[in-house]
């Protein structure tokens, strides 16, 4: 849209830019700036228009975009142009991701390069390398308490190693995902140090207060993220003689985005990593970006405006780079991080599907798909050119973030049901084989989340300890069932590094004084390469999981119906243990795959009569793509084995 005021301002800014910018070849930059400037200007004005230095800040933002564009390498610029042409590239079924810690998986960045064949053997072509930036060794929060945003922790390597990894991945047609921790810094970051030394400029980068008046006002409505280890949301800093806002750990200082300088610094950092070759940036804790007294300081409208602004700016300098929103919030709120308006308000192209994740865990515990069906039916619609990141485990705890009204519709009391799930996964419920631990227990609110590795949570640890073969089978089948659902649901599946070989809980963290109070570490093991070798031993647990996943991943990539173009149809089935949905090929609507999942530990059947009108089971049988076996209806009924998932096709 052409708008006079913003256009006039753009002209003014272009004249004011540093001479070295003016002299540079910037054709594509100017075209993109022109196309996005109306939106950038409107958003910047909404957020910062009241300030006396508004124009100065606007110039500084555009300058940042231009300087980072000048630095962008020819090959990355080429990839930007290619991705602008093929703008739906990431919606394809061909992408399959994995998240891993470079040190825990392969020692360091060079080691990681050497281990790429293992990942490729499994079929992984999108690699989320967990944060590797310089953090204080004692207070690092697993890499999320950053001391220097542009320096790699020397134990892992250097920035050059990251660039080299990015180039190697590109040659192998793999994508690199890196984190940008946008919400907070370590208290040892240079900005925090300067704030502590009394520099007003940097105190304004954070939320600092002389007394408890404003902190107390905030606290009335603020929840606690880590109630047991970091209660409250403000920390007294002795050196500064002030309170500072610390929503996560006490050593993680929340950045103040009411200050445009903070946004500009962060944009500069985002583009720095875009220029180092990241294809996708995972923006951490985005729900928390804007703080307002009287609210929970999550999902505020301004947090969305900031993300829209960041996206528009990235579009100008590095349009090939995508954003992942890490917003682990209520189902109705998550989809808003895609942006709510297709034209003016793009935010992140990809978002963690925390809703599906928690619903899948519900199905594991209840052994039925009642809540899962309801939750999927009510999953908010997404924009075009937006996709989910589907996962079952990650490095964090599992929050039971499904919708209370869905829980009621499924016939549960939400509070009691969450209590049951917590008891189930922490092994307190009678006969539960799960071996998790409660995380973030808050006696005041009764809330708690769950820690533990996938294999231990689905009962593999208990089954192996007792040598119960049937229970081992059930655990392996559950792992495969969960992944089978993720791989066909629509979106990018994101596996977690130990899960393909059945990694159990690891208790080494208890010996580390800085980790022992945070049981999320039990699911952040050092990858056991000796165990991984067993994937070649026929009949071993590792081989059964690894080869099952490998086969499904390969099949997913060959199945165009699994690309994510809002081509999923959920079927209501009379059997509450089952989840049934179809996926249709966006280029050939007659090419349909029926995904049928049984979460129960006994075989279950469903009627095909109603499905026939959708072109399914017309010949009374369909083939399971995974096994090649025919599934035939007898008296209109089809039987699915216990804890299984089939991809059925004509
Ligand atoms: C994100 C990370 C989590 C971290 C938190 C604070 O939620 O995934 O590991 O503790 O942010 O940075
Ligand atoms: C925040 C994050 C969530 C994470 C938790 C830390 O709530 O949004 O991802 O699980 O912090 O464990």
- Residue ranges and CATH numbers for the domains of the chain are 353-564 (3.20.20.80), 565-649 (2.60.40.1180)
pLDDT of residue 486: 97
**Looking at ligand 1, which atom is closest to the CA of residue 144?**
12
Distances (CA, A) of 56 to 9, 17, 23, 62, 205: 11, 11, 21, 10, 17
d(CA 515, CA 355): 28
Give strand ranges (E) for 140-183: 148-152, 175-180
pLDDT of residue 649: 96
pLDDT of residue 536: 98
- Residue of 284, 347, 397, 461 marked active site: 284
Please tell me if the CB atom of residue 396 comes closer than 6 angstroms to any atom of ligand 1.
yes
490 Ramachandran zone, left/alpha/beta (phi>0; psi -120 to 50):
left
**Structure tokens, 274:** 């875009």
pLDDT of residue 11: 86
466: CB partners within 8 A, 6+ apart: none
Whole-prediction pTM value?
0.96
333: CB partners within 8 A, 6+ apart: 287, 298, 299, 327
284 carries an active-site annotation: yes
635: CB partners within 8 A, 6+ apart: none
d(CA 141, CA 183): 14
d(CA 35, CA 37): 6
Tens-digit pLDDT profile for residues 118-173: 999 999 999 999 999 999 999 999 999 999 999 999 999 999 999 999 999 999 99
Please tell me if the CB atom of residue 225 comes closer than 6 angstroms to any atom of ligand 2.
yes
**Looking at ligand 1, which atom is closest to the CA of residue 395?**
9
pLDDT lower than 70: segments of the chain: 1-2, 341-345
**Helix residue spans in 72-151 (DSSP H):** 74-85, 102-106, 109-114, 116-122
- 580 within 8 A of 596, measured Cβ to Cβ: yes
Q: Which ligand is nearest to the CA of 184?
A: 1
pLDDT of residue 341: 64
Unique residue bearing structure tokens 């998550």 = 334
Residue 574 CB: number of other CB atoms within 10 A?
9
Distances (CA, A) of 474 to 17, 197, 459: 64, 58, 8
Tens-digit pLDDT profile for residues 435-485: 999 999 888 888 899 999 999 999 999 999 999 999 999 999 999 999 999
- 532 within 8 A of 118, measured Cβ to Cβ: yes
Could you tell me the distance, in angstroms and rounded to a whole number, from the CA of residue 298 to the centre of ligand 1?
14
Q: Return the SS3 of 304.
A: helix
Q: How remote is the C-alpha of 111 from its chain's centroid?
A: 25
Nearest CA to ligand 1 atom 10: 141
């Amino acid at each position: 849209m052409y708008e006079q005021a913003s256009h006039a301002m753009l002209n003014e800014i272009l004249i004011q830019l540093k001479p070295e910018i003016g002299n540079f070849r910037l054709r594509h930059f100017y075209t993109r700036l022109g196309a996005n400037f109306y939106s950038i200007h409107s958003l910047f004005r909404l957020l910062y228009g009241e300030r006396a230095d508004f124009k100065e800040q606007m110039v500084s933002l555009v300058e940042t975009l231009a300087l980072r564009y000048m630095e962008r390498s020819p090959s990355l610029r080429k990839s930007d142009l290619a991705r602008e042409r093929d703008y739906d590239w990431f919606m394809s079924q061909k992408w399959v991701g994995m998240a891993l810690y470079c040190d825990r998986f392969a020692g360091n960045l060079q080691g990681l390069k050497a281990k790429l064949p293992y990942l490729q053997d499994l079929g992984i072509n999108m690699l989320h390398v967990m944060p590797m930036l310089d953090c204080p060794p004692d207070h690092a929060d697993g890499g999320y308490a950053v001391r220097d945003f542009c320096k790699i922790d020397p134990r892992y390597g250097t920035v050059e190693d990251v660039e080299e990894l990015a180039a190697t991945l590109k040659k192998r047609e793999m994508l690199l995902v890196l984190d940008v921790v946008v919400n907070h810094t370590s208290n040892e970051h240079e900005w925090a140090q300067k704030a502590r030394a009394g520099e007003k400029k940097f105190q304004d980068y954070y939320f600092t207060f002389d007394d408890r008046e404003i902190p107390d006002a905030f606290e009335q409505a603020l929840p606690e993220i880590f109630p047991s280890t970091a209660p409250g949301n403000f920390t007294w800093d002795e050196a500064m003689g002030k309170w500072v806002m610390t929503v996560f750990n006490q050593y993680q200082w929340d950045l103040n985005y009411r200050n445009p300088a903070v946004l500009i610094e962060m944009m500069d950092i985002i583009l720095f990593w875009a220029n180092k070759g990241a294809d996708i940036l995972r923006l951490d804790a985005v729900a928390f970006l804007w703080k307002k007294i009287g609210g929970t300081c999550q999902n505020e409208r301004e947090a969305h405006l900031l993300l829209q602004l960041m996206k528009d700016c990235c579009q100008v300098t590095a349009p090939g780079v995508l954003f992942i929103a890490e917003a682990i919030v209520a189902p109705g709120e998550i989809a808003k991080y895609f942006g709510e308006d297709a034209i003016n308000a793009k935010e992140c192209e990809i978002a963690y599907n925390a809703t599906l994740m928690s619903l899948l865990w519900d199905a594991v515990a209840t052994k039925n798909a009642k809540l899962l069906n309801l939750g999927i039916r009510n999953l908010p619609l997404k924009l075009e050119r937006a996709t989910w990141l589907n996962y079952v485990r990650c490095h964090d705890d599992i929050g039971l973030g499904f919708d209370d009204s869905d829980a009621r519709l499924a016939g549960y009391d939400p509070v009691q049901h969450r209590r049951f799930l917590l008891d189930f996964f922490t092994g307190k419920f009678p006969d539960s084989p799960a071996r998790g631990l409660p995380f973030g227990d808050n006696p005041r609110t009764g809330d708690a989340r769950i820690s533990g590795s996938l294999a231990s949570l689905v009962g593999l640890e208990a089954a192996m300890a007792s040598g119960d073969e049937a229970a081992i089978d059930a655990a392996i089948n559950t792992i495969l069932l969960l992944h089978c659902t993720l791989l066909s649901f629509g979106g990018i599946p994101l596996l977690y590094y130990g899960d393909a070989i059945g990694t159990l809980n690891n208790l080494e963290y208890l010996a580390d004084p800085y980790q022992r109070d945070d049981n999320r570490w039990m699911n952040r093991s050092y990858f056991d390469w000796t165990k991984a070798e067993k994937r070649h031993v026929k009949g071993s647990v590792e081989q059964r999981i690894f080869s099952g996943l490998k086969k499904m991943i390969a099949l997913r990539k060959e199945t165009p119906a699994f690309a994510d173009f809002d081509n999923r149809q959920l079927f209501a089935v009379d059997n509450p243990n089952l989840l049934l949905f179809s996926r249709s090929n966006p280029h050939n609507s007659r090419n349909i795959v029926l995904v049928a999942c049984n979460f129960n530990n006994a075989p279950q059947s469903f009627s095909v009569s109603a499905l026939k009108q959708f072109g399914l089971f017309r010949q009374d049988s369909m083939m399971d793509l995974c096994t090649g076996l025919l599934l035939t209806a007898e008296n209109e009924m089809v039987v699915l084995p216990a804890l299984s998932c089939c991809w059925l096709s004509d």
